[in-house]
Amino acid sequence: MQLRPNQRLKLDDKDDKLFYAYPRFVTHVDEGFIQQLTDLYRDRLKPNTRIFDMMSSWVSHLPEEMQFDHVEGHGLNSEELARNSRLNHYFVQNLNENPQLPLADGDFDAVLNCVSVQYVQYPEAVFSEIYRILKPGGVAIISFSNRMFFEKAIQAWREASEAQRVELVKAYFASVPGFTTVEVIANKSTLPNFLQWLGAAGGDPFYAVIASRS
């Protein structure tokens, strides 16, 4: 799988660091989505392990009762990351400029990416890095809904249906030899589209694409 050059394009092609220069202390999905994500983390993550929260923010949605050996955060706004009480350490890096992570091989038990995969312009490189930093048996959980900063999402994502976006993330995993067969969790919204876009409670669909390093 390799995206064509036009599929990587964004409507706003200015430096991403400018767009994320100011902190946004909000959640970009509704409470129903967040609860499903936290429940998924509770089920799939193990306590006292090492977690990498890629493209994180001021919250990580990890279960409050679970303790981890180390939670490494990454994002584009240092104020948001500094507010995140679950992070033991964080760094700022634009993955669309440099997808290579300053992290050791096989160092993490889990890599998490919540509602941000739509902004990655070079997913082949980023998912290769996810594979590199995972321990054998380590899990990657990519979660998303139908919300986005439209001007910052890549064309391949903007023009795809929800089902096609699931296939896109599956293809990202498949582009890297060594991931297990992916698992998909899809809980579609039953609300009309206009209510979803208005942010009505229970309106956000929940998708998670999961794979492990063999």
SS3 for 10-77 is: CCCCCCHHHHCCCCCCCCCCCHHHHHHHHHHHHHHCCCCCEEEEECCCCCCCCCCCCCCCEEEEEECC
Residue that is written with structure tokens 């986005």 in the block: 148
- Residue 10 has a pLDDT of 95
Give CA–CA dist 87/93, Å, rounded. 16
Give CA–CA dist 110/50, Å, rounded. 7
Residue that is written with structure tokens 């900063």 in the block: 149
Per-residue pLDDT of the chain (214 residues; tens, 9 = 90+): 689 999 999 999 888 777 777 666 456 688 899 999 999 999 999 999 999 999 999 999 999 999 999 999 999 999 999 999 999 999 999 999 999 999 999 999 999 999 999 999 999 999 999 999 999 999 999 999 998 887 999 999 999 999 999 999 999 999 999 999 999 999 987 666 655 555 555 579 999 999 999 9
Q: Residue 105 phi/psi, 5° resolution? A: -60, 140
CB proximity list for 188: less than 8 A, separation 6 or greater: 162, 205
End-to-end CA distance of the chain: 19
CB proximity list for 203: less than 8 A, separation 6 or greater: 30, 32, 189, 191, 195, 196
* Secondary structure (3-state) at 207: strand
Taking CA 36 as the corner, what is the angle to CA 93 and CA 66, rounded to the nearest 5 degrees? Answer: 70
Give CA–CA dist 74/18, Å, rounded. 17
